[in-house]
Amino acid sequence: MIPEQLAGKRIAITGSTGFVGTALVERLLRSAPGCDLVLLVRPSRRHSASERVRREIFKNNAFDRLKRELEAVGTETFDAMVARRVHAIGGDVSTDGLGLNTDDQAVFASCDIVIHSAAAVAFDSPLDSAIEINLLGPSRVAQTLQALGVRPHLVAVSTCYVAGNRRGSAPEQLVSAGPFDLGLDWRKEVAAGRRLRSDTETASRDPHRLRQFRVEAHKELGAAGAPALAGKTESLRERWVSDELVEAGRARAASVGWPDAYAFTKALGEQALTEVKGDVPVSIVRPSIIESALAEPFPGWIRGFRMAEPVIISYARGLLKQFPGVPEGTIDVIPVDLVVAAIIAVAAVGPEHAPPITQVASGGVNPMKYGLLVERVRDFFTAHPLYDPEGQPIVVPEWQFPARGKVQLQLKRAKAVAERTERVLQALPLRGKQATWAAKLEEYKHDINRAYEYVQLYGLYTECEAIYQVDHLLSVWDTLDAADQAAFNFDPRSVHWPTYVSEIHLPSVVQHSRAKITPGRNRNDRSDRLRRNVLSPDRHVAAFDLENTLISSNVVESYSWLATRRLNVPERIRYVLRTLAEAPGLSSMDRKDRGDFLRYFYRRYEGASVTQIDEDSKELLTQLIVTKSFPAGIRRVREHRALGHRTILITGALDFVVAGLKPLFDEIVAAEMTIRPDGTYSGELSKVPPTGETRAQVLAEYCVAEGLSIEQSIAYADSTSDLPLLEAVGFPVVVNPETRLAAVARNRGWLVEHWSKESGARRPLLPIGELLSDRERKKVFS
């Protein structure tokens, strides 16, 4: 029996944090209680291998059943059992020697069985990454075992799709042994892939291309400041490199008959492993498309979205109205628990009795037709529709089966329309709730891109006409006794596809998608939760921007109010017309660089009397600042103070404009001008204005000086120029956002507040000071 065959064995597993790996760990701990596990996990920057195992594996709900069973027996707790039977070691299959230290080498060398399930499973992995992990990973495991002088049974998990884009029977044999062999040299492919990474990195640093990245970054972030723009530019460069390598992988795979870089590198990985394994006994297990569990650890268990789920949910949401495929063709799906049971069985029977290659697939003995899958999906979401944000049921369309090229063309056209509309919206001075139109459009464009990627990635799989044979799998099945067959089911003939799709898989997909499944408008529970976090007593500092965050005003309006206070009517008219004519240029300068704009605009204060400005600023507070304030914003400042939070106003407005707000804040950091000996302002700033990245620096320095944590602080702002400040804190809040920031906030899941003035407030094109009598009028500006 399998449990007895594995009793006393130490089994190493790579890829244990993945879908199949997690299921393997759970099944071995629960169904083979006499074995111990060694989990080879790559440490991350923040977590050791042991911590990753604790956080990413054992917190998964796959282990709930085992925990209940142990609790019912009462002899050992789950944590105690894990501590006794599981050993985590740090390693990396993309590194020669697996990156093992001396102690971990000894642990790895003590294993009787090694199950290699680590892989870059994304179909759109960059070519060089897929080569290092999928192609070279299995060979590195075998070579490391040879170097350590041990010969455990190596069970390597591959994929049925190493057979490529063939039609008809795909037997359980090496690709290089069949008629599909193209004579490819895996070593040359490795060398070419590595050169490609180097060449692409060099090309990404071409001056012309770097300028393009810079322009694109500025379009997305506006005047966010040099560090933010530099970070975004570098991010765009890295994304370009990755996209180029992804496309190179697709092109290379297609040129030699594979659907993508994943299947291509897996095929070459089998070839390489066969060549370099030496006397290490190897068994290869090839699953087809792995989906949610049929029964173990519970029906529908799944970790993350696999291949079919994104397509299914996109269809249910009305995003995909048609998808390429052959309705009478076979979609070869296999539940994850059948795959895991087959791997365990191959490992248990040992290299002497296990076939060299075992395919775990359904198409050869229990095929599910693509048309049947589509029919079941449509029927399910007709009976159990998803709901849009307005609470209306989404009616799923009649699925069509067009050619892949036709679907791609339709999606390209939709994307082009969305991009043109986006450019128009970004050019408009939208703010607050109006700016959410652009954010929703950004999300729609993202959905189109995803749909296009699904067609590009998965279209070939739905059109695949290969039939994967499972003679070796069934031969192993026939050797099992009744108890093993009951405990370790891997017979594809046991799956009743209509029941599996409608009653197991689709309900699980919907649950994991977190899609809206009830009618009625969304209650904004998420915003409420974020708001509670912001207003927690645990927070330290609340930092506020001023313009369009706490008041509906700006530096042009405050200057206009002061400048016109002592002008007569004709002079006021001329001033208003002149300023309105300047508005487009001023707006353009502000969008390019907020600091440069402030320096330029504040020169208008040159020659202004300090005494007179101070006097008029008191009236400015009551007649402009207060009347243009957002009551909800002022209440929020007071809420923070009541909770014991420090409050700080960081604004590019001049200090005398905001002096009247001091009772609300513990600290005000504003722009300041130098004063001439004659008691007038010079029009020149005395220090760098607090804009862009300077705001983040100001807040960071304040927190350090006061012994407070910036990670426990909140920032309120409205513009992409404030991104450095928003990104610096632990709790960013976007208020009445401009178009670009609304999209950023939506993508990052930030709290968005829409605050407004009291209804009935005056809304002049340009605020002007109260008209004084001739006796009172005295020009303050030259």
Which of 167-176, 223-232, 588-597, 708-717 shows the highest mean pLDDT? 708-717
Count of H helices and E strands in the chain?
31, 19
Within 572-680, strands assigned E span 646-654, 667-671, 673-675
Looking at the fold, whether 216 and 289 belong to one and the same domain comes out as yes
State how far the Cα of 401 lies from the Cα of 325, in Å rounded to an integer: 6
Q: Which residues of 700-720 are buried (b: 16+ CB within 10 A; e: fewer)?
A: eebbeeeebebebbbbbbbbb
Q: Is residue 429 part of a domain?
A: no
**Which is nearest to 715 in space by CA: 655, 758, 651?**
651
Which of 9-13, 594-598, 649-653 shows the highest mean pLDDT? 9-13
Looking at the fold, whether 130 and 54 belong to one and the same domain comes out as yes
In this prediction, residue 324 carries a pLDDT of: 62
Cis preceding linkage at 385, omega within 30:
no
Looking at the fold, whether 615 and 480 belong to one and the same domain comes out as no
The model's pLDDT over 568-577, given as tens digits with 9 standing for 90+, comes to 778 878 888 8
Within 199-335, strands assigned E span 282-287, 289-291, 333-335
Q: Which residues of 114-134 are buried (b: 16+ CB within 10 A; e: fewer)?
A: bbbbbbbbebbbbbbbbbbbb
**Which is nearest to 381 in space by CA: 370, 373, 389?**
373
Residue 733: is it exposed, middle or buried by C-beta count within 10 angstroms (0-12/13-18/19+)? buried
In this prediction, residue 781 carries a pLDDT of: 47
Q: What token pair was written down for 294?
A: 């049929």
In this prediction, residue 346 carries a pLDDT of: 96
The model's pLDDT over 322-379, given as tens digits with 9 standing for 90+, comes to 666 677 778 899 999 999 999 999 999 999 999 999 999 999 999 998 888 888 888 9
Q: How many domains does the chain have?
A: 2
Q: Is residue 173 part of a domain?
A: yes
More confident of the two residues 593 and 489: 489
Residues 6+ apart with CB under 8 A from 413: none
Type and span of the H or E element at 255: helix 226-255
**Which is nearest to 666 in space by CA: 651, 644, 686?**
644
- Residue after which a domain boundary falls, among 489, 519, 552: 489
Cα separation values, 80 from 70, 76, 86, 104, Å: 10, 6, 10, 22
Residue 547, beta-bridge partner list:
551
| C-beta separation of 399 from 322 below 8 A | yes
Looking at the fold, whether 247 and 138 belong to one and the same domain comes out as yes
**Torsion 272-273-275-277 (CA) sign:** positive
Q: Is residue 372 part of a domain?
A: no
Calculate mean pLDDT across residues 116-139: 89
Confidence of residue 670 (pLDDT cuts 50, 70, 90): very high
Calculate mean pLDDT across residues 112-140: 90
Residue 714, beta-bridge partner list:
542, 731
Confidence of residue 763 (pLDDT cuts 50, 70, 90): low
Q: What token pair was written down for 16?
A: 């244990």
Calculate mean pLDDT across residues 113-127: 87
Looking at the fold, whether 477 and 582 belong to one and the same domain comes out as no
**Which is nearest to 241 in space by CA: 197, 306, 211?**
197
Rg over CA atoms, the chain: 32
* Gap between the terminal Cα atoms of the chain: 99
Confidence of residue 218 (pLDDT cuts 50, 70, 90): confident
The model's pLDDT over 10-46, given as tens digits with 9 standing for 90+, comes to 999 999 999 999 999 999 999 999 999 999 999 988 8
Range of the domain at 168: 2-302+330-366+467-489
Supply the DSSP string of 489-526, one letter for each residue: ---GGG--HHHIIIIIIHHHHHHHHT---S-SPPP-HH
Looking at the fold, whether 102 and 197 belong to one and the same domain comes out as yes
Which of these ranges, 150-164, 466-480, 578-592, 727-741, has the smallest mean pLDDT? 578-592
| C-beta separation of 461 from 307 below 8 A | yes
Q: Is residue 448 part of a domain?
A: no
Q: What is the CATH number of the domain that holds 689?
A: 3.40.50.1000
- Cβ of 226: how many Cβ atoms within 10 Å? 11
The model's pLDDT over 48-103, given as tens digits with 9 standing for 90+, comes to 999 999 999 999 999 999 999 999 988 899 999 999 999 999 999 999 999 999 99
Q: Three-class SS of residue 66? A: helix
Residues 6+ apart with CB under 8 A from 4: 34
Q: Three-class SS of residue 120? A: coil
Looking at the fold, whether 63 and 212 belong to one and the same domain comes out as yes
Calculate mean pLDDT across residues 684-712: 91
**Which is nearest to 632 in space by CA: 756, 778, 762, 451?**
756
Strands 681-685 and 673-675: antiparallel
The model's pLDDT over 246-287, given as tens digits with 9 standing for 90+, comes to 999 989 998 988 888 999 999 999 999 999 999 999 999 999
Which of 299-308, 442-451, 700-709 shows the highest mean pLDDT? 700-709
In this prediction, residue 773 carries a pLDDT of: 47
Q: What token pair was written down for 130?
A: 């897929």
Q: What token pair was written down for 9?
A: 């064995």
Q: What is the 3-state secondary structure (H, E, C) of 7-38?
A: CCCEEEEECCCCHHHHHHHHHHHHHCCCCEEE
Cα separation values, 8 from 26, 306, 596, Å: 17, 34, 73
Strands 167-170 and 465-468: parallel
Confidence of residue 523 (pLDDT cuts 50, 70, 90): low
Q: Is residue 428 part of a domain?
A: no
Q: Is residue 397 part of a domain?
A: no
Find where tokens 């990474």 sit.
Answer: 197
State how far the Cα of 77 lies from the Cα of 183, in Å rounded to an integer: 54
In this prediction, residue 779 carries a pLDDT of: 47
Looking at the fold, whether 476 and 537 belong to one and the same domain comes out as no
Q: Which residues of 315-337 are buried (b: 16+ CB within 10 A; e: fewer)?
A: bbbbbbebbbbeeebbbbbbbbb
Q: Is residue 342 part of a domain?
A: yes
φ, ψ at 766 (rounded to 5°) = -145, 120
- Cβ of 693: how many Cβ atoms within 10 Å? 22
Q: Is residue 407 part of a domain?
A: no
pLDDT over threshold 80, residue 508: yes
Calculate mean pLDDT across residues 597-625: 88
| C-beta separation of 326 from 368 below 8 A | no
Looking at the fold, whether 121 and 252 belong to one and the same domain comes out as yes
Cα separation values, 437 from 443, 740, 742, Å: 10, 11, 9
Looking at the fold, whether 630 and 718 belong to one and the same domain comes out as yes
**Which residue type is seen at 411?**
L
Which of 184-188, 426-430, 443-447 shows the highest mean pLDDT? 184-188
State how far the Cα of 114 lies from the Cα of 104, in Å rounded to an integer: 14
Here the contacts of 71-78 (C-beta below 8 Å, separation 24 or greater) are: none
Helix axes 308-316 and 370-383, enclosed angle (nearest 10): 40
| C-beta separation of 484 from 31 below 8 A | no
Cα separation values, 215 from 208, 233, 239, 329, 462, Å: 11, 8, 15, 47, 39
In this prediction, residue 458 carries a pLDDT of: 63
In this prediction, residue 751 carries a pLDDT of: 93
- Cβ of 741: how many Cβ atoms within 10 Å? 29
Cα separation values, 776 from 166, 254, 623, 773, Å: 92, 83, 18, 5
Which of 409-423, 633-647, 762-776 shows the highest mean pLDDT? 633-647
In this prediction, residue 435 carries a pLDDT of: 54
Looking at the fold, whether 538 and 633 belong to one and the same domain comes out as yes
| C-beta separation of 563 from 609 below 8 A | no
Cα separation values, 23 from 5, 90, 290, 343, 354, Å: 20, 20, 12, 11, 21
User: In the chain, what percentage of residues exceed pLDDT 90?
Assistant: 53
Looking at the fold, whether 484 and 535 belong to one and the same domain comes out as no
pLDDT over threshold 80, residue 734: yes
Q: What is the CATH number of the domain that holds 336?
A: 3.40.50.720
Q: Three-class SS of residue 181? A: coil
**Which is nearest to 614 in space by CA: 562, 688, 552, 670?**
562
